[in-house]
Amino acid sequence: MLVAVVGPSGAGKDTLMEAVRMRLGGRPGFRFVRRAITRPADAGGEAHEALDRAAFLARRDAGGFALWWEAHGLFYGISRDIEADLAAEGTVIANLSRTVLAEANAAYRLLVLEITAPPEVLAARLAARGREDAAMVAARLARQAPLPAGLRVARVMNDGTVEAGVAQVLAALGASDQAPGVG
């Protein structure tokens, strides 16, 4: 199945997914996808495959992406090679945009893993990052992007410890009985 990780900024998606990736320890059947993004590799944030706009568009036009989208002035893509893992009954985990969820649901067996937190927790985390002023944080929190109807969704409320969030993610992935230390 394809697991689409979504959620607001400050929800802790990257922190939880990195901890889950480490917990699963390369266990067969689980693949964490690195996105292709049209931003420099040293721009900070998630580890990604850095492509310039021309290279991204050439790969897209050649059918190299299973899913792609544009957001915040950048192009994002998920390599078509995920389809081999999905055909082998693997679990492919990717950070996706809500804008491609309906397309992903039509093409693949999809589970949306929505990681979120209460507004006050999101605000504190965004403020702690120091990338945006208070007005920008407030504007980001005011944006509401509902999920398309008809999706299978597992919601993780990430308002406690990282370990508690990891346990929720592992349970949603059906991996809790396989992961050491999680019941």
pLDDT in tens, 37-76: 998 877 766 788 999 999 999 999 999 999 999 987 899 9
Residue 180 lies in a domain: no
The DSSP code for 80 is T
Residue 179 lies in a domain: no
Please report the sign of the dihedral spanned by the C-alpha atoms of residue 89, residue 95, residue 96, residue 102.
Answer: positive
Q: Edge-to-edge, what's the strand order for the sheet holding 36-37?
A: 49-50, 36-37, 74-79, 65-71
Residue at 176 is within a domain: no
- Residue 177 forms part of a structural domain: no
The span from the first CA to the last CA of the chain, in angstroms, equals: 23
Q: Which one has a higher pLDDT value, 180 or 99?
A: 99
Lowest-pLDDT choice from 32-36, 94-98, 110-114, 174-178: 174-178
Asked whether residue 100 is assigned to any structural domain, the reply reads yes
Q: Which two tokens stand for residue 97?
A: 């945009």
The structure's pTM equals: 0.86
Residue 181 lies in a domain: no
CATH number of the domain at 167, please: 3.40.50.300
Phi-psi region of 91 (alpha: psi -120 to 50; beta: other; left: phi over 0): beta
**pLDDT tens digits along 127-159:** 877 767 778 777 777 777 789 999 999 999 999
Distance CA 165, CA 43 (A): 27
* Containing structural domain, residue 162: 2-171
Residue 183 lies in a domain: no
SS3 (DSSP) at 116: strand
Query: Do the domain assignments include residue 89?
Result: yes
Q: Which amino acid is at 109?
A: R
Split into its structural domains, the chain has a count of 1
